[in-house]
Amino acid sequence: MIKFVFSAMDNLNLLLISKIYKPTQKYLPFYAGINSNSQATSGHKDSSSRLFRLVPYFPLFSFGLLLAVFFILVPVVPSEGAENIKVEFEKREFGAGLEMRSNLKTVERRLAVRDMTAPEYGYGDKTEAEIMKERPRELSIAVLGPLTGELRLYGNEASNGAELASDEINAKGGINGKDISLLVYDTKGRVGGARMGINAFVKNRVIGVVGAATGEVSFSATKMLNDNQLIMVSAGSRRRLGDTGPYNFRITLGDSSAVNNLIEYIIENRKWRKFSILNSVVNDFSVKLAAEFKASIMNHNLEVTSELFLWPKAMSNIDPEEKSIEAQIKKLKKNMPDVLVYTGEGREAGELVKEMRKQGIGIPLIGSEDLMIPQFVSLGEDVAGTLVYGGFNPNSQNPKVQKFVKAYKKRFGRKPTRLAALSYDAYMMLVKAISDSSSLRPSHVRKQLALTKDFEGVTGRTSLDETGEAIKKPFIFEMMKTGRGYSFKVVQEPK
């Protein structure tokens, strides 16, 4: 009976292989030759029969092979979105004895989630006795951001600002006579890169991180930061981070308070009382900012004459009129406002102004610092009177700002951006928190940072609320004629 079953299976397998896997038959002599001196238990003496008898067991062999491969490879599989890379620190000298490390080139290892250092006793409210169980960190601050790829501007500006601050502190003797090391990790703009960077910082016992204003830095590793009690201060993110855990901080100017300050400036210095709001629907930030403007205008008992929406041309199910700048501007004439609020990007704003002037509408624009780009400024007289809020003024007469701008230009050959200035301030705030802390234990340093009040930085005066979000006032800029044409000039600095 057993012999019959094996023979039947032989015949069935032969039929299947000959019909379905016919191309594999040319390999039979090779496999058969492996055991050509042995005899088949079923009575068949040809080598091909010996192979076919094994076919029913191929799934078991395959499964066993897959298990072996799985257990061999799992330890080196990188975390989600990550690549197998060398985690290295590359040493570069930048004067004042500072060692700038630009991509973690000291240790070569493949990082995986299971390779991460375990959390240190959790986080949250702790007694002093519990805090003292934490292992003190190294006197090391890091920068996380994309140094290469499409978003490299954000990462390099963050790195530049922190580097300048680090040199300045170390030139003065560091903290208690000890230099602060600066580590910079290139995320390449990828979620996996951000997680691997945090993982590397944890392993190198970094006390705090300056985060670039990119999505993968701001949101992809928040749990890792909190689980490992690693402080991160975002230098430029426009998204609220204060609700993502006690170790996440953000010192960017908040749009809600900035909009309120701009509307209050208008009430005190302009006669504008009627506002129309136009937002770019394709831009989620534009939609959010338009809501902030509407709320502030109404809270100050001013009038919103109309709300207009500019849809992207690629939207096939939208009326063509709703995708046309010309059609939206025509709507303004039905109830002419004193000023138009535009919350989209600078290039689009330029097209908007051109169409307004073409249709004989001479009212000014108000908006955010997104309008402060060369393409918009180049329109000159057509955009004169535009009012915007911003988070940094490189032309400030404040001695602290002038010193920063001079040092930055000397080092990098150009004026600093808002992102570089925020990174400089974020680093300096971390240094102050470390200096004021009783130890380098993360809970001690975090508590000191959370107590920040009226910190005088190059981006203005910064305090932190109970969630770690910045409390600060904006710079108000107006587009006006200067000796060399038109440019944005500060009409009000934060006090």
Q: State how far Cα 418 lies from the chain centre.
A: 15
Nearest 5°: CA angle at 402, between 399 and 405?
A: 150
Domains parsed from the chain with CATH numbers: 2-75 (no CATH), 79-253+395-464 (3.40.50.2300), 255-390+476-492 (3.40.50.2300)
State the pLDDT confidence band at 495, using cuts at 50, 70 and 90: confident
H or E element at residue 478: strand 475-482
Instruction: Give the helix ranges, DSSP H, for 20-57.
Output: 28-33, 47-54
State the pLDDT confidence band at 9, using cuts at 50, 70 and 90: very low
Residue 61 scores a pLDDT above 90: no
Residue 443 scores a pLDDT above 90: yes
H or E element at residue 222: helix 222-227
pLDDT tens, residue by residue, 398-441: 999 999 999 999 999 999 999 999 999 999 999 999 999 999 99
Residue 35 scores a pLDDT above 50: no
State the pLDDT confidence band at 335, using cuts at 50, 70 and 90: very high
- The residues, ordered by sequence, that sit 6+ positions from 154 with a Cβ below 8 Å of its Cβ are 145, 146, 212, 213, 214, 236, 419
Instruction: Give the helix ranges, DSSP H, for 278-392.
Output: 284-299, 325-332, 346-358, 374-377
What distance in Å separates the CA atoms of residue 205 and residue 99, rounded to the nearest whole number?
17
Q: Which of 185-189, 310-314, 382-386 shows the lowest mean pLDDT across its residues?
A: 310-314
Reduced to 3 states (helix: H, G, I; strand: E, B; else coil), residue 367 is: strand
Residue 277 scores a pLDDT above 60: yes
Percent of the chain with pLDDT over 90: 63
Residue 29 scores a pLDDT above 80: no
Percent of the chain with pLDDT over 70: 75
For 396, left (φ over 0), alpha (ψ -120 to 50), or beta? beta
152-171 vs 399-412: helix axis angle to the nearest 10? 110
